[in-house]
Structure 1
Amino acid sequence: MSTNVPNNSEEQEIDLTQISKKIGNLLQDFNTFLFSCIGFFVKNVRVILILFVVGLALGLFIDHRNKSYKSEVIVAPNFGSTDYLYSKIDLLAAKIKERDTVFLKSIGILEPTKITKISIEPIVDVYSFINNSDQNFALLKLMAEDGDLKSIVKETTTSKNYAFHTITFLTKGITNNEKGIQPILNYLNTSDYYNKIQKVSVSNIQERIKTNQGTVSQIDGILNEFSNATAGNNQKSDKLVYYNENTQLNDVIKTKEALLTEIGNLKITLLTSDKIIKENSTAINIENTASINGKMKLILPFLFIFIFISISFFIAFYKKQMLKAEQKAI
């Protein structure tokens, strides 16, 4: 047993020595590689500088020539026209992708070749969605029990029920409202079916406002009569027995307040019902910096240098292997 202990110690010393040698060799190889890289850059510094300048100049030229801009329009589809809006945008997106300039010109777009993409997405507003009706809240609560709430609020079936949506246009070069955006909005508002619904809806809103205003006038008359009677006579009036209890009077006042609130909301709805797809706000010619747009001046110089280094190392590797093959052949 005593003879095995020295042997184990010697083996451990040998293992440590071998590990130290391997680490030393790796460090030496790394130093050699680092020295070769420095030597390569020193040797080819002129070529690298030329490639950098050429790449920078070419990148600036491409960025300037192919400047991409983004325009956004926030819209509110009226009269249940959300599905109609999305189908129209899908059709426009397909026509733009196909470069169908004949169709795009036919709907009034003066510079169809400038538009490169169009898309639409909802503005997620869960609170407004819930406040619109108790049914929406119950539906969202039910759906959330079986899935992730974050994904549910962004689902197509849910998102289409939001009030506002953003239409995004991508264009080559600067556009303006008259040449690009307004013709598309006019196209979206061209629908015989929804025009008929619009007329009926507007008429119904106006009639409802008129009816509510008449009811408010009647309530005002009753309240004035009650006020005059109580001011002129402290005794109970036969005509005002109905209002003997304060709770009954409060109900009348609450009814009036509810009617006035509804009239205000109906007037706002009437104001926004002048179009099928109502434009709320527009932001045009925002420089598009997504992906590689506007970044070629940064990409090309390093891309050219990387290609040059790759080719140089490939040639050096090929020559080295060819030399080894020739030496073996000898």
Structure 2
Amino acid sequence: MSVQKENNPENPEIDLLTVFSRIGDFFEWINTSLFRIIRFFVKNAIVVAVLIVIGIGIGKYLDSAQKTYVNKITVTPNFKSTDYLYAKIDFLASKIKLQDTVFLKSIGIQNPLQIASISVAPILNVNDLVNKEDKEFQLLQLMKENESLNTIVKDTTLRKYYNFHSIKINANGIIVQKNTIDPILNFLNTSVYYEAFKKINSQNIQNNIKEKEATILQIDRILNKFSSANTSQSGNEKLIYYNENLNLDKIIKTKDSLCGEIDKLKIEQYNTGKTIREQGMVLNIKSNKIFKWKLIFILPLVFVGLFVFFSFFISFYKKQSLKANANLK
């Protein structure tokens, strides 16, 4: 036979009193717990103060001893290899984060744990965008009407149009270029596809230079013939004849133009000698931002927290031991 719970609809005040009583007990428990915590810290004020001072002292020493350096390398991706550059840097960053020393040493980095992080970002220059002859930039003016130019310039989809990019390496010590930077640059330039592309591009430039040099030799022969004829003919009529028919002024300007083009091609050949061409680097810039002054706040909290934990653990253990001993009696 089931027993039904008695309900007293005529006295709802009893349920309300029970609820208020429990709420009161809860607040009383909070007050008691807060009092115990305050009493604990007052009772152990000297120990807590000593731990805080020790934590600040050790944290300050470790912060000052932790020397961090920033290294910046300016590079130019050739052959439309910007996305390739960013993918390679992301891959290296993941290996550094995982502390995969086996892989990092395999590419030539002698002290992988010295590297804290690596990243790459475009060196923003609006002229790089405006000067590009690409259909996508026909929309640049329309985009400016809806967004600020600064937002457009920082858009990651446009990073491939910037000429220069900056690789940033944060390190926990002084970096030697031969042991760290050069292996990273060699790793970035390791690609079968781009290596083949580079060879073809270099051969094309070399052929172009040879053709222009051959044209210059032909011009020199013409000028030499004119010079020989001019020395053998003392009259001005021959000089006028050559000026009118050979148009020496244009020939000389053409030669100068070809020489200028050859100079540009040689510079291009040098700049495109690597897929990722380094343009300059600044190494071992001392940084005061990374991890600076963090341990001063963290260590005191850790020491005090450990002291509180062990104190309550010992107190709990003693109480339970007393209860166990009482039950045995």
TM-score calculated relative to the size of structure 1: 0.64
What is the CA–CA distance in structure 2 between the aligned matches of 1:235 and 1:143, rounded to whole Å? 60
User: What does 1:120-269 correspond to in 2, within 5 Å?
Assistant: 120-127=120-127, 130-131=130-131, 135=133, 139-140=136-137, 142-147=139-144, 148-225=148-225, 232-235=234-237, 242-243=245-246, 251-269=250-268
Structure 1 residues not aligned, in runs of 5+: 1-45, 308-330
Deviation at 1:203, TM superposition (A): 1.3
What is the CA–CA distance in structure 1 between the aligned matches of 2:125 and 2:283, rounded to whole Å? 23
Deviation at 1:165, TM superposition (A): 1.2
What is the CA–CA distance in structure 1 between the aligned matches of 2:280 and 2:125, rounded to whole Å? 17
Q: Is the 8 A contact 2:76 2:278 kept in 1?
A: yes
Q: Label 1:223 to 1:127 Cα distance change in 2 as closer, same or farther (>3 A).
A: farther
Q: Is the 8 A contact 2:128 2:161 kept in 1?
A: no
Deviation at 1:193, TM superposition (A): 1.5
User: What does 1:8-157 correspond to in 2, within 5 Å?
Assistant: 54=54, 56-127=56-127, 130-131=130-131, 135=133, 139-140=136-137, 142-147=139-144, 148-157=148-157
Structure 2 residues not aligned, in runs of 5+: 1-45, 305-329
Q: Give the residue type in structure 2 aligned to 1:115.
A: I
In structure 2, the residue matched to 1:14 is none
What is the CA–CA distance in structure 2 between the aligned matches of 1:250 and 1:129, rounded to whole Å? 38
Q: Give the residue type in structure 1 aligned to 2:270.
A: L
Deviation at 1:62, TM superposition (A): 2.2
In structure 1, the residue matched to 2:291 is 293
Q: Label 1:149 to 1:227 Cα distance change in 2 as closer, same or farther (>3 A).
A: farther
SS for the counterpart of 1:80 is coil
What is the CA–CA distance in structure 2 between the aligned matches of 1:119 and 1:164, rounded to whole Å? 14
What is the CA–CA distance in structure 2 between the aligned matches of 1:129 and 1:267, rounded to whole Å? 25
Percent identity of paired positions between Structure 1 and Structure 2: 41
Deviation at 1:208, TM superposition (A): 0.9
What is the CA–CA distance in structure 1 between the aligned matches of 2:177 and 2:188, rounded to whole Å? 15
Deviation at 1:249, TM superposition (A): 5.3
Q: Is the 8 A contact 1:67 1:294 kept in 2?
A: no
Deviation at 1:110, TM superposition (A): 1.8
Deviations along 1:232-280, whole A, 9 cap, x unmatched? 443377776544xxxx655444433332221111111122233222222
Q: Is the 8 A contact 2:58 2:296 kept in 1?
A: no
Q: Label 1:100 to 1:214 Cα distance change in 2 as closer, same or farther (>3 A).
A: same
SS for the counterpart of 1:102 is helix
Could you tell which deviates more after superposition, 228-237 or 160-169? Answer: 228-237
User: What does 1:270-309 correspond to in 2, within 5 Å?
Assistant: 270-290=269-289, 293-296=291-294
SS for the counterpart of 2:279 is strand
Deviation at 1:118, TM superposition (A): 0.7
Q: Label 1:262 to 1:158 Cα distance change in 2 as closer, same or farther (>3 A).
A: farther
Q: Label 1:215 to 1:194 Cα distance change in 2 as closer, same or farther (>3 A).
A: same
Q: Give the residue type in structure 2 aligned to 1:209.
A: I
Number of aligned residues: 254
Q: Is the 8 A contact 1:124 1:153 kept in 2?
A: yes
Q: Is the 8 A contact 2:92 2:118 kept in 1?
A: yes
Q: Label 1:65 to 1:162 Cα distance change in 2 as closer, same or farther (>3 A).
A: same
SS for the counterpart of 1:118 is strand
Q: Is the 8 A contact 1:144 1:152 kept in 2?
A: no
SS for the counterpart of 2:161 is coil
TM-score calculated relative to the size of structure 2: 0.64
Q: Label 1:222 to 1:158 Cα distance change in 2 as closer, same or farther (>3 A).
A: farther
SS for the counterpart of 2:259 is helix
Q: Label 1:229 to 1:49 Cα distance change in 2 as closer, same or farther (>3 A).
A: farther
What is the CA–CA distance in structure 1 between the aligned matches of 2:295 and 2:159, rounded to whole Å? 39
Q: Is the 8 A contact 1:57 1:297 kept in 2?
A: no
What is the CA–CA distance in structure 2 between the aligned matches of 1:300 and 1:117, rounded to whole Å? 22
